[in-house]
């Protein structure tokens, strides 16, 4: 038995997708240009969860290239949420007064076909040098208004545990910093990486949260569930972030199954993102109205703590805003129409007799 049979490689080439039965051989030439422009990576852990006999498989839809990715619409942008506009030093995005993003690496275990940073991440990406990391941490030290640092990228859990440990130690030593949040796909895409060494690296004297990107319940196989359990047992509070994607999870049943599963694994559903205007991602997007209708129906099937907030990153870097439909409308005379989960509107406060 070969080493690759024991430890199958991450799929990074079109011919590997053909061999895995994920695309027909006839599609190789058509997709070559897509892979040349946008990075391709699909880990064995996620590839093993794909049903190759299902043309609508929700995992394949997220990671297998499509020819339409080379079609860019006029409203799409290489920097759809305005990272560049709010980058005072390399690796830092300071969009909100009390928190910053810190992007130490630009590689990921997998590359989502809808990624809002797809023009910036990939093999050979521009990760921070030691000098640039010093400058980024120095920026946090010099700004006492910063309450929280969010490690993102790329995927910060792609750092070697020793480097991750050093980064967390340096951030934790900043007196005014009170929280670190890590945005990651690793527990889903490469769950074996969540080992004792990495868990030790995540120990922090300040509050440390891990926000896990997961879009469909099919991504939660036995290995992924075990990885999330290891994080939880280590005392790390877990959040989730999900992107609302056409032909992946744009149904009440798909979202209900996902958020119930996450909640049962001690992962708090946090954000349901309306997809960003990244280049070549039109076919993943649905209208805000469709999203609001889904969310209104979804609330009926989920307990309160399992409900994420439906949000949009306003193009241009103006921050996130909630998109959930309003349950209240003015009725005049200091009264309001308040709509319940059954869709019925009641007057509040009720008329006195």
Return d(Cα 170, Cα 154) in angstroms, integer: 20
The DSSP string of 277-291 is: --TT-GGG---HHHH
Q: Tell me which residues are annotated as active site.
A: 95-96, 99, 108, 112, 115, 117, 276, 313, 320
Beta bridge partners of 329: 337
Task: Give the DSSP H or E segment for 151.
Answer: strand 148-151
How many helices (H) and strands (E) are present in the chain, helices listed first? 12, 12
Q: Where are the alpha helices (DSSP H) in 265-326?
A: 288-298
Alpha carbon of 194 to those of 185, 209, 249, 299: distances in Å? 11, 15, 26, 32
CA distance 322 to 274: 10
**Which tokens is 352 given?**
């006195």
Segment holding 32, helix H or strand E: helix 28-37
Peptide bond into 290 cis (omega under 30): no
Q: Per this entry, what is the length of the chain?
A: 353
3-class secondary structure, 337: strand
Integer CA distances (angstroms), 328 to 222, 298, 335, 351, in order: 42, 18, 10, 17
Instruction: Using the structure block, give the residue that is written with the tokens 């992924």.
Output: 224
DSSP 219: G
Give CA–CA dist 207/237, Å, rounded.
9
Task: Say if strands 238-243 and 267-273 run parallel, antiparallel, or are unpaired.
Answer: parallel
């Amino acid at each position: 038995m070969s080493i690759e049979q024991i430890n199958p490689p991450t799929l990074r080439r079109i011919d590997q997708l053909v061999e895995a039965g994920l695309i027909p051989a006839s599609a190789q030439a058509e997709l070559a240009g897509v892979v040349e422009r946008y990075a391709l990576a699909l880990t064995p852990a996620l590839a093993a969860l794909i049903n190759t006999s299902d043309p609508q498989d929700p995992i394949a839809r997220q990671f297998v290239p499509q020819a339409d990715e080379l079609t860019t619409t006029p409203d799409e942008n290489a920097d759809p949420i305005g990272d560049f506009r709010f980058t005072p030093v390399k690796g830092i995005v300071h969009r909100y007064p009390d928190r910053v993003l810190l992007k130490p690496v630009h590689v990921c275990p997998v590359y989502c076909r809808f990624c809002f940073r797809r023009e910036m991440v990939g093999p050979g990406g521009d990760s921070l040098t030691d000098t640039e990391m010093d400058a980024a941490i120095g920026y946090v030290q010099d700004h006492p208004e910063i309450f929280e640092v969010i490690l993102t990228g790329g995927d910060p859990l792609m750092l070697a545990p020793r480097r991750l440990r050093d980064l967390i130690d340096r951030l934790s030593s900043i007196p005014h910093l009170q929280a670190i949040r890590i945005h990651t796909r690793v527990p889903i895409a490469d769950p074996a990486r969540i080992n004792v060494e990495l868990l030790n690296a995540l120990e922090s004297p300040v509050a440390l949260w891990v926000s896990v990107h997961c879009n469909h319940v099919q991504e939660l196989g036995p290995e992924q569930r075990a990885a999330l359990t290891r994080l939880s047992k280590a005392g790390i509070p877990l959040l989730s972030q999900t992107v609302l994607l056409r032909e992946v999870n744009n149904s009440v049943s798909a979202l209900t199954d996902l958020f119930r599963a996450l909640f049962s694994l001690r992962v708090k559903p946090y954000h349901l993102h309306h997809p960003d205007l990244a280049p070549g991602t039109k076919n993943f997007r649905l209208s805000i109205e469709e999203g609001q209708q889904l969310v209104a129906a979804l609330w009926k099937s989920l307990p309160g703590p399992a409900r994420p907030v439906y949000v949009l990153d306003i193009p241009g870097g103006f921050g996130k805003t909630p998109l959930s439909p309003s349950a209240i409308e003015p009725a005049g005379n200091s009264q309001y129409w308040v709509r319940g989960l059954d869709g019925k509107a009641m007057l509040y406060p009720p008329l006195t007799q």
